[in-house]
């Protein structure tokens, strides 16, 4: 009897040990499953058989997803899905910030339901940018091409040499305008697709010299003198090709919007691990209402002046992308009638 009791106890201990091991495995699997669910970028809400939420992953709790409008939509989808009806709903939230959410209710095989909350805000923003870009570039290229067609037809109808010469000059201007737009588009695409800039020691003095060389002809035409305040600037870290493009666009912008015979100044200051390249002009300045938008593609403060100067509206967008690629920023200070000061901040050389 005593021996039989001992065997029972041994069997019970063995079963308990097995049960504890199985429990540890289950707990480990549960932790892994929870970690996987927490890592999923979309929000997930699990409900019971009645459609009441019993579990939420972090994206479904954070980032402003849980407000009354979203919560009501999620509960409606869960109740319907728990009853076996799959549903989907898109929410366009005004904000701020504006958000676009796609909600899905999915019935589960063993009862209950799952709601999926996907944030489409960035995708919607990119779609809007793409749509605006196509519309803008179509307009920007259609204008000079249409002008070329009209001018060519006019040339065909004239025999006067002087008139034909004037029309031919206009055709050349419109062709250059279309070419400049295409060149800027290619440059912007190259910089955007290139990702973050190459990290190499850059001679800022050489960057400024090359940028001045690119804009020398335009400055000469308007009798504008470009002055470099510091002939021996500190070195920076980055992509020299991108930096030349950015500084050249800042200089080109300054020249275009300066009065004939005025001066544009380039200065460089190194401070706290950064190099600030500043381009200052004494031109027409920028209205305060436009300061937040001037780095957008195709945005122009004065469209009439842009047509006269041949601006494409892409130069400052290029500067902004170069700054972002370098982990830096571009800032502007301006007052109407007094001029503008643009500062491109990039990392200083680590040497």
Is the Cβ–Cβ distance between 265 and 227 less than 8 Å? yes
Matching residue, tokens 């849980």: 66
Q: In angstroms, what CA-CA distances link 272 with 18, 234, 276, 345, 346?
A: 62, 12, 10, 11, 11
331 vs 321: CA distance, rounded Å: 13
169: helix, strand or coil: helix
**Residues in contact with 100: Cβ distance below 8 Å, sequence separation at least 6, in sequence order:** 90, 91, 92, 93, 119, 120, 121, 123, 124
118 vs 99: CA distance, rounded Å: 11
| Catalytic residue check, 139 | yes
153 vs 147: CA distance, rounded Å: 10
Q: Which candidate in 65, 68, 139, 225 is catalytic?
A: 139
142 vs 71: CA distance, rounded Å: 47
CA angle 239, 243, 245 (to 5 degrees): 125
Q: In angstroms, what CA-CA distances link 147 with 170, 186, 264, 300?
A: 9, 23, 33, 21
Buried b (16+ CB within 10 A) or exposed e, 202-219: bebbebbebbbebbeeeb
Residue 250 dihedral angles phi and psi, to the nearest 5°? -65, -40
Integer-rounded Cα radius of gyration of the chain: 32
Residue from 90, 92, 93 nearest 104 by CA: 90
Q: Which are the catalytic amino acids?
A: 139
């Amino acid at each position: 009897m005593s021996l039989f009791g001992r065997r029972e106890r041994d069997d019970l201990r063995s079963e308990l040990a097995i049960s504890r091991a199985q429990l540890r495995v289950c707990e480990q699997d549960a932790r892994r499953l929870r970690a996987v669910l927490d890592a999923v970028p979309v929000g997930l809400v699990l409900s019971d058989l009645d459609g009441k939420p019993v579990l939420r992953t972090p994206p479904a709790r954070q980032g402003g997803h849980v407000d009354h409008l979203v919560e009501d939509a999620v509960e409606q989808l869960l109740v319907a899905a728990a009853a076996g009806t799959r549903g989907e709903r898109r929410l366009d939230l005004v904000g701020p910030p504006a958000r676009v959410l796609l909600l899905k209710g999915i019935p589960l095989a063993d009862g209950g339901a799952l709601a999926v909350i996907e944030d489409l805000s960035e995708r919607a923003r990119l779609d809007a940018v793409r749509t605006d870009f196509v519309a803008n570039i179509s307009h920007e290229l259609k204008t000079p091409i249409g002008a070329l067609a009209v001018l060519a037809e006019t040339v065909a109808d004239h025999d006067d040499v002087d008139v034909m010469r004037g029309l031919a000059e206009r055709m050349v201007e419109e062709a250059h305008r279309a070419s400049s737009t295409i060149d800027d588009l290619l440059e912007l695409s190259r910089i955007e697709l290139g990702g973050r800039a190459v990290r190499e020691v850059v001679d800022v003095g050489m960057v400024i010299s090359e940028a001045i060389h690119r804009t020398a002809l335009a400055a000469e035409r308007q009798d504008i003198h470009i002055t470099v305040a510091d002939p021996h600037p500190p070195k920076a870290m980055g992509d020299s090709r991108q930096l030349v493009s950015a500084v050249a666009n800042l200089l080109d912008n300054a020249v275009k919007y300066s009065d004939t015979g005025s001066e544009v100044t380039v200065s460089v200051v190194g401070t706290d691990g950064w190099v600030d390249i500043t381009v200052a002009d004494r031109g027409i300045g920028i209205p305060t209402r436009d300061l937040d938008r001037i780095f957008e593609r195709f945005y122009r403060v004065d469209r009439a002046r842009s047509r006269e100067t041949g601006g494409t509206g892409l130069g400052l967008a290029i500067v902004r992308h170069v700054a972002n690629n370098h982990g830096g920023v571009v800032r502007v200070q301006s007052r109407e009638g007094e001029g503008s000061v643009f500062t491109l901040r990039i990392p200083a050389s680590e040497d």
